[in-house]
Amino acid sequence: MSDARPSSTDLPIALDAMGGERMPDAAVDGALEAVAAGRYVVLVGDRERLEGALRARNASLPIEHAGDVIAMDDHAGDVRRRKDASVVVATRLVKEGRAAAVVSMGHSGATMAAALLVLGRLPGVERPAIVANIPTVDGFCALIDAGANADCRPGWLQQFAVMGSVYARAFLERPDPSVGLMSIGEEEGKGNELAIAVHALLKQTPGVRFHGNVEGRDLLAGTTDVVVTDGFTGNVMLKLAEGEAKVIFELVRGALRSSWRAKLGGLLAKPALRQIAERLDPGTYGAQPLLGVNGYAFIGHGSADARAVRNAVHTASRLVAARVNDHIAEGVAAVAAAQGAAGEAAGSRSAQGADGAA
């Protein structure tokens, strides 16, 4: 239906094996785990180093050589001229139909820039957006945009709602996901100018079950399956949510060392408490998709370990198999068609009105 990249599950996931703090070891270990679980992976990076790492593990994986790597303190815009950088080479594999998706744990801005530059946007999509899985009391909530677009127009957030709904259906397995608009009051008129304008749009967006406004506290309460916001607010929320979990568990650990009684209690409660800490760990889901680009691109934490890499490969494979990009292109087209029809109806009504007045 569109000129979307081949989404065949026969193609490997192109893994940037150099970008990130623990690379290439975490990439190699994570890829081997994913392959053992039935996934296809091609490592992208310095061939010599990757062959050495594989030899040391007595293992073998396909390698695509890339002689350069974008470091964490480089500029995202560097991807334009550094065509041999691992993230650029990995993204090009997707463009050329040689890989199903690109996954990078390196420089987030560079991964995003490479995806936009090499793959471009899906037809009809105005701005790609990052979706983040936020752990809630009883599952996950999809937060979109988690950081791709710092300043947004209302129509972009309307498309984020469509993309978030497609994602929640495919990945979070919610057949009819609810969508909340992040604001500072539940009533329709509450919020900043952007939220108030988006509220009006979301009330009449086909394919989006709009719940209405939600507030900061609703994110982890799991009030809605999807939460839509601009990339500034979303990124602040994502980092606050992750940071707070870390701080509270630090405080809990400290409290459980504060007395002999607490120490004993902590020892007994440890397995139960560890389960919560794991549920709130970003490594659980591995990487965040950049939705709306014409191909599949995933952005992971710079500190990702082998487990996060393995999970990122699983996440990427699942989104490819679910043909998420085809559904996004369809959803965005349906919204445009409905707005075109509404515009025509309004136009014909006002034409009639003009006739009547004449």
Q: Which residues bind a second copy (CB under 8 A)?
A: 136-137, 147, 150-151, 182-184, 191-193, 195, 215-221, 229-233, 235-248, 250-252, 255-256, 258-259, 261-262, 264-273, 275-276, 279-280
- The 10 Å Cβ neighbour count of residue 308 is 24
Nearer to a second copy, 148 or 319 (CB): 148
Q: What are phi and psi of 43, to 5 degrees?
A: -80, 135
Give the shortest CB-265-to-a second copy separation in angstroms.
3
Q: Are strands 129-136 and 41-45 parallel, antiparallel or unpaired?
A: unpaired
Give the shortest CB-72-to-a second copy separation in angstroms.
12
Give the shortest CB-140-to-a second copy separation in angstroms.
13
**Phi-psi sector, 179: left (phi>0), alpha (psi -120 to 50), beta:** beta
Give the shortest CB-260-to-a second copy separation in angstroms.
9
Give the shortest CB-244-to-a second copy separation in angstroms.
5
Nearer to a second copy, 86 or 235 (CB): 235
Give the shortest CB-69-to-a second copy separation in angstroms.
20
CA 191 → CA 148, 152, 164, 187, 205, distances in Å?
A: 21, 15, 21, 9, 20
Nearer to a second copy, 62 or 77 (CB): 77
Nearer to a second copy, 236 or 338 (CB): 236
Contact 107, 87 (CB under 8 A): yes
Nearer to a second copy, 1 or 137 (CB): 137
Cα–Cα distance, 203 to 346 (Å, whole number): 17
Give the shortest CB-139-to-a second copy separation in angstroms.
12
Nearer to a second copy, 122 or 146 (CB): 146
The candidate with the shortest Cα–Cα distance to 64, out of 84, 35, 79, 82, is: 84
Nearer to a second copy, 20 or 109 (CB): 109
